[in-house]
Every structure is written in C-alpha cells, then in structure tokens.
Structure 1
Amino acid sequence: MVLLVLVLFPLVFGGWLWYHVDSTINRVSAFPDYDGRPAAGAGTNWLVVGSDSRDGLDPETRENLHVGAADGQRTDTIMIAHVPDNDTPPTLISIPRDSRVPVPGQGRTMINAAFAIGGPQLLAQTVEQATGMRIDHYAEIGFGGFAGLVDAVGGVEMCLEREMHDTQTGQTLQAGCQVLDGEKALTFVRMRYSDATPRSDLDRVANQRRFIGALADEASSFGTLINPFTTYALADSGAAALTMSEADGTGDLLSLAWAMRGISSGGVVTTTVPVTDATAQRWDKEKAGALFESVNSDQPISADLIVE
C-alpha cells in the first residue's frame, strides 16, 4: 500500500499541478496578422517581456519593492529567446528598451513605447519588423510577479564583485555572494544608475540575463523538484504572474525553461543587440542584421556579434 502511494502520488500531483498552471496563466492575443509579417525561420522564438506595471500592488508593496507609483505600463525588459531545431545552443538576446526603431503608426521612436501604446500586439509586430524574425510565443511578467517568483524558490544566490548603489532609488546591494529575495532581486535587475553599471542599460540587460540564468538553475535544481511544497509555490506563483499568448500552454513554458537552464553554465548564448554607442539607442545595422540572420537560421553566432 505504501509503495502504491509512493508511485501514484507524483503522478497525481504532477497531473493536477499541470492542469492548475495551465488554467491559471493569464492569456492575451499577442500576435497580430499583418501584411509583410516575417515567415517562420528555423527553431522557435519567444518574446519575453518584463513589464513595469504596478497593477495589483498595494501602496505598501510598492514601497517595499521601491517601484514608485507610475501609472500605465512600459517594458523594463525585452528579450528574444530562441530554441533551435538542431544542436546549436539556445540564444537569449536582450533588446535595450531605449532602442530607437520604427514602431508601426508611430514613426521611429523608443521600442518600449510600442508596449505602452499598443500592448503585446504592437510590441510583437515592432520586434518582428525590426529583426526580421517571426515570434512564435509570448511571455510577460510584472514587478510583483517577478518578486513573488524569486521568493517562491527561496531566493537566488548572486555573487557581486562590487557594491551596487542606485542613485535613483537609494537602494544598495553589498559586494560578495548572497541570496537575493524578491525585493533585492528586483533592485538588481532594474539597476542602471550606479558606479557598478557604468554602461547604464547595457550593464542592466547583462545583469538581467545573468539573473535569469541563476533563477532557472534554482527552479530546475534537484532540491526544488523533489520538494512538493517548493514546486507548488513556484508553479502557483509563476502561473499567477505570467501572461502568455492564447495558444501557449504549460508544455511550451516548460520547454522554454528547460532550454534556458544552461545560461549560467554557458550552454546558452547570451547577448545584446549590437549597438553603436553606450546610449544603446542606435543598433549597428550590419552586426544586428547578421545576428538575427544567424539565429533565424539556426547557425552558430560569430564571436564578434556577441555583446556581453
């Protein structure tokens, strides 16, 4: 009897958890049908968005997370995650939020304006037209959801080479190895006004990729997966915090998470769209085009196209 319970419990729990996650995730129509939409390339492309929306955060939570009280929503993070069909490594590409690109109906402006004006659909169209890559899946998470996800896994260890002090918010992260809870993790991934981030947004997006790798490692660790309480907390927090496209499901999300788990170990190529200067507003057209072409055809990326 005990053996039967030990065998059946993981199956029943796993099946129920799969259904719970799939039925809890918020869904949105993210991909408009428009003339000239890029054809599908090799592999699968995700548009991953970190929104600065404060919706659902009470005043105390906003204060604790140090996110202010701005209305509306913009994109603090824009990434393309590419999962290949062949044996080339997955790729995670950061798009600086101040990149000036053509936004349909708005002329050339900062790319995060697309999300503020037209939500996921306008952002997805803008990214597709700017990169020439068709986006297959969409995932978005806000401030509160991100912090909750970090807390659900018990925090994430990061080793900081030097103190990070944000002159805008007054928040400070000490140098050395430490476990960042949701509040401190949000401070880390948003910081760009600091002596420790001299390249401003370029350093910030590099830190964001670094943290996502550490979070993926923690979420997929043996200790997390064998603990049903942690697994449930992670799945429940993640599902409630995520917004995905209507056609996406739990299987798609797990596929992305599994592909991205190798960020910390170098199993995922991570880069920023090549830019012309530290303002990160103007893309290097030649290098950016070569990067997107390589990724879209599942070809190895030349070292000179990778921006740390």
Structure 2
Amino acid sequence: MNNWPDGWTDDGRGRAGRGGPPHPEQARVMPHVRGSVPRQSRGGYGDHDGYADDGYGRGGYGGDRYDDRYGRAGYRDDRYDDRGHGGRDGYGGYGGYDGYDGYDDDNDGYRGRSAVGQRIKRGLILVVLLVLVLGVGTYFWADSKMRREVDLAAVEQRPESGRGTTYLIVGTDSREGLSEEERREMRTGNSEGSRADTIMILHSGDHGSSLISLPRDSWVTIPEFTGSVSGNRIPEQQHKLNAAYAIEGPELLVRTVEHNTGLRIDHYAEIGFGGFAGVVDALGGVEMCFDAPIQDKNSGADFAEGCQTLNGPESLAFVRQRYQESMGDLGRTKNQQKFLGALGDQVASPTTLLNPFRLYPTMGASLDSLVVDESMGPFRLAQMFLALRGVQGSGGTQMNVPVANPGFSTDKGSAVLWDEERAAQLFEQVRRDQPITVTDD
C-alpha cells in the first residue's frame, strides 16, 4: 500500500517538481523566501515561486503559488489566460516581453497583432463599400440625366457592323439655352433652329483611335428616307452633307453618312454652341498652343502665339474661326480635331477623374448638353471621351476625308468633292479596324 499523499510516487519524485524530496503525510513545505528561486518572468512561476500544498494548481502555472489540484481551466488570468497562453506584459509565462499582449481569451493569436489586422480589415471593407456606393450612385445619377433623343433604329438600310466602335460626333450651331448677353459674347447671332456645323467620325479599335472630319459642305448623295416626324418619303438627292441634318435631323444625317461611307454608326453624340462652352468652363478651361497669332473678327477669335488656357467662349471662337485659315473650312476642321483631342485628353485625365470638384461639374455640364442615341449609356460615353483622348496618342489618327476638289461648283454653291478612291480605301480600313495608311494630303 502506498502511504504517500496523493500525487506522490514510490520513486521519490513528486509531480509538483522534478527531483523534489518526498514529504511525509501531513508535512508542510516551508514557503521559499521571495527571490530564493530565480524568477523566470512575470508570467512564469507565481509571484512567490512557491510550490502548492499538495499538487498542481488549478490555474496551472501562475498566481502566488500552485493551487490545490490539477488545473482545470488552463493557465491563470494574470500570466496565462483562462484557455491558453497569455501574459500581462508580453508572451505570458515565456518571458514577459513588452509589445505583445499575449494570447487572447479565445486562443486566436496574439491580441495586439489580431487587433491591428481587424482594424485594417474593417477599414478596407469600409473603403470598398464607400467606393461601391459612390460608383453605383454616380452611375444611376448620370444615367438619369442622359438625353437619349436619337433613335438609330429608325435609320433605314443600314450597313453591317464592322470591327471596333464607331461614333458620329456632331457639333451644331444651336443657341439653345443661351441668353441674349451670352449670344453677344460668343458672337453666335440669333438664328433660330440648328444646323450641323461639325461632323466627325470617331473610331476606336485594336489599332488605336481615329478621328476623321467630314466637311459640312461635302457633296454627297442624300438617300431617300421616310421622315420620322412628317411621315413623308424624302426623295434621293445630291446635296451638301449638312443639308441632311437640316432636312430631317440626326436620323437622316446618320443615314447619309452610312450611305456614303459604308460604315455602320454605333453611337451618336451631338452638342450645341452653349453646351460646348459650358463643358469647357466646367472643366476649368482647355490648354491650347498656337504657332502663330490668330485673329478672326467673325468668330471673335483673338489669340497670341504660344500656349494658353481657353475658357468656354474663347474655345467656341477658336473652333468656329476659318477665315484666317489658308484651307478655309478644311483648315477649320483641323483646328476642331486638335481641340477635341485636347478636350478629351483633359476630361479623361487623372486630374479630372480623381478630383470630384472637377469631375462632377464636368459630367453635369456634359450630360445636360449632349444629345445621344437611345442605346448610349454612361460607360459608353466615358469610352467615347477616352477614344477622343487616344487620337492624340502615338497610335492615334486625325485627318480629313481625302478631297479631290475643295471648291467644287454646284447649283447649291461651292462644295467639297471627295477623292472617291482614297475615301473608299480609308473607310474600308476603318470598317475592318485596320491601321490607317491613307492620308489626306
């Protein structure tokens, strides 16, 4: 029969300490003097480093001494937590290093490291949610403001779709929304209605962006068409290109461009005088550089040589001026291409897209002013501005349709006659989304 107290064995080694001397029953161990056993750490042996009365302490290591029985709940709170390692000042009983809070109550890892990770995680989730909410809100706001007034489905006998995306961009002389004072400042006159003042094909594909001007006085075939308003059948006729817009608006203009180029127009965007100036002003102006002074009393253009930032009315005066140009209307289209490229570059630049105080006014002005087709959405509109920006890049192209006779005489006055062979080759390269090799020289 073993006469030793519980927890002791016959071989003289107690469980409470390796190699400890056996104690007779009821014998009590004198507590060690504080400091008689070197302290390992605050989280190691208890404050008094003493052995417990008769076995392992309930809290395991830690406390003033070992408790009466084997530990049931794990290590003590102050040095070891209830379920796992811990420490008041650091790695629990393994050294008390500052900077770590020890294991937490659920044994999930170091408390400090876990807290930092949780804060970072919550911050990232909050940022993602804010961006998502802002993006969705902006999309629906922009979508609700778009003026989808052009029905491309009403266009007859359309060509097959080509590769890439083709836009028809039209600038009109509409004075819509302009006050009398603004009309005087911009020298727009007081003509009623609107006429197509600028007509351009913008193509975006695998080989970059191309911006091709179609002079408004181009002598073309206006195909027969059923008017969407009057319902009358409009007969086929030879006329200037901008006459199609005057006769039956955007739909007949799209029909005429498709008929004469063989290109299918995927999207349509139109802006008037006032809207154009408003977009420029909302953007904070557009920087332009001139090789020589420009003066035109008819449009009001008056610019010194060098680089300068043009406001809305000044920009309108620049793109309208043509009397100083040696090529007349063809020279004006070159200026318009140059300006639209600079405008697109600034609208789609990070300084605009990442600055809400510039982005939202520009978006608001654009959406209020642009008339687009029914299938145009905010994303497609953004892609159009990116394509405009791309025309100025290394892979971009800006040109007029090749011309055989810029002063072709007709019964409708002087017109521009296309070079049919080179024009056909150019439009075929656009349709197939091939690199542009045709020039307008």
In structure 2, how many angstroms separate the alpha carbons of the residues matched to 1:146 and 1:73? 14
In structure 1, how many angstroms separate the alpha carbons of the residues matched to 2:439 and 2:297? 29
Are residues 1:295 and 2:414 paired? Answer: no
Residue 37 of structure 1: how far off its partner (Å)? 2.2
Q: TM-score, normalised by structure 2?
A: 0.65
Residue 35 of structure 1: how far off its partner (Å)? 5.4
Equivalent of 2:272 in 117, 120, 142: 142
Are residues 1:235 and 2:363 paired? Answer: yes
Question: Which residue in 2 is equivalent to 1:20?
Answer: 141
Equivalent of 1:213 in 341, 351, 370: 341
Residue 267 of structure 1: how far off its partner (Å)? 3.0
Are residues 1:88 and 2:177 paired? Answer: no
Question: Which residue in 2 is equivalent to 1:270?
Answer: 398
In structure 2, how many angstroms separate the alpha carbons of the residues matched to 1:170 and 1:183? 9
Contact 1:75-1:97 at 8 Å conserved across structures: yes
Question: Which residue in 2 is equivalent to 1:256?
Answer: 384
Are residues 1:71 and 2:192 paired? Answer: yes
In structure 2, how many angstroms separate the alpha carbons of the residues matched to 1:30 and 1:193? 36
Residue 167 of structure 1: how far off its partner (Å)? 3.8
Q: For 1:142-199, what per-residue CA distance to the aligned partner results, in whole angstroms no more than 9, with x for missing partners?
A: 11111111111110110011111114244312221000011111111111011xx110
Are residues 1:188 and 2:318 paired? Answer: yes
Contact 1:43-1:298 at 8 Å conserved across structures: yes
**In structure 2, the residue corresponding to 1:281 is in which secondary structure?**
strand
Residue 10 of structure 1: how far off its partner (Å)? 3.5
Letter in 2 for 1:161: D
In structure 2, how many angstroms separate the alpha carbons of the residues matched to 1:241 and 1:170? 23
Equivalent of 2:329 in 201, 206, 217: 201
**In structure 2, the residue corresponding to 1:126 is in which secondary structure?**
helix
Question: Which residue in 2 is equivalent to 1:52?
Answer: 173
Closer/same/farther in 2, CA of residues 111 and 264 from structure 1, 3 Å limit: same
Residue 55 of structure 1: how far off its partner (Å)? 1.6
In structure 1, how many angstroms separate the alpha carbons of the residues matched to 2:346 and 2:159? 35
Question: Which residue in 2 is equivalent to 1:111?
Answer: 241
Q: For 1:109-141, what per-residue CA distance to the aligned partner results, in whole angstroms no more than 9, with x for missing partners?
A: 110111111100010000000101111111111
Question: Which residue in 1 is equivalent to 2:289?
Answer: 159
Question: Which residue in 2 is equivalent to 1:11?
Answer: 132
Q: For 1:285-308, what per-residue CA distance to the aligned partner results, in whole angstroms no more than 9, with x for missing partners?
A: 001000001110111221xx2227
**In structure 2, the residue corresponding to 1:282 is in which secondary structure?**
strand
In structure 2, how many angstroms separate the alpha carbons of the residues matched to 1:256 and 1:34? 22
Contact 1:41-1:134 at 8 Å conserved across structures: yes
In structure 1, how many angstroms separate the alpha carbons of the residues matched to 2:439 and 2:139? 36
Question: Which residue in 1 is equivalent to 2:439?
Answer: 306
Contact 1:64-1:183 at 8 Å conserved across structures: yes
Residue 45 of structure 1: how far off its partner (Å)? 1.1
Moved more, 26-35 or 233-242: 26-35
Residue 106 of structure 1: how far off its partner (Å)? 5.4
In structure 1, how many angstroms separate the alpha carbons of the residues matched to 2:358 and 2:347? 9
Are residues 1:281 and 2:411 paired? Answer: no
In structure 1, how many angstroms separate the alpha carbons of the residues matched to 2:123 and 2:186? 45
**In structure 2, the residue corresponding to 1:37 is in which secondary structure?**
coil
Moved more, 207-216 or 10-19: 10-19
In structure 1, how many angstroms separate the alpha carbons of the residues matched to 2:436 and 2:264? 18
Equivalent of 1:126 in 249, 253, 256: 256
Letter in 1 for 2:211: L
Q: For 1:19-41, what per-residue CA distance to the aligned partner results, in whole angstroms no more than 9, with x for missing partners?
A: 11111111123325465421112
Contact 1:103-1:109 at 8 Å conserved across structures: yes
Larger radius of gyration: 2
Greater helix share, structure number: 1
Contact 1:30-1:138 at 8 Å conserved across structures: no
Question: Which of structures 1 and 2 has the larger relative contact order (alpha carbons within 8 angstroms, sep 6+)?
Answer: 1
CA RMSD across the alignment: 1.8
Letter in 2 for 1:248: M
5+ residue gaps, structure 1, are: none
Are residues 1:31 and 2:139 paired? Answer: no
Contact 2:174-2:193 at 8 Å conserved across structures: yes
The percent identity for this pair of structures is 45
Residue 16 of structure 1: how far off its partner (Å)? 1.7
Closer/same/farther in 2, CA of residues 183 and 5 from structure 1, 3 Å limit: farther
Letter in 1 for 2:360: Y
Residue 47 of structure 1: how far off its partner (Å)? 0.8
5+ residue gaps, structure 2, are: 1-121, 224-234, 408-414
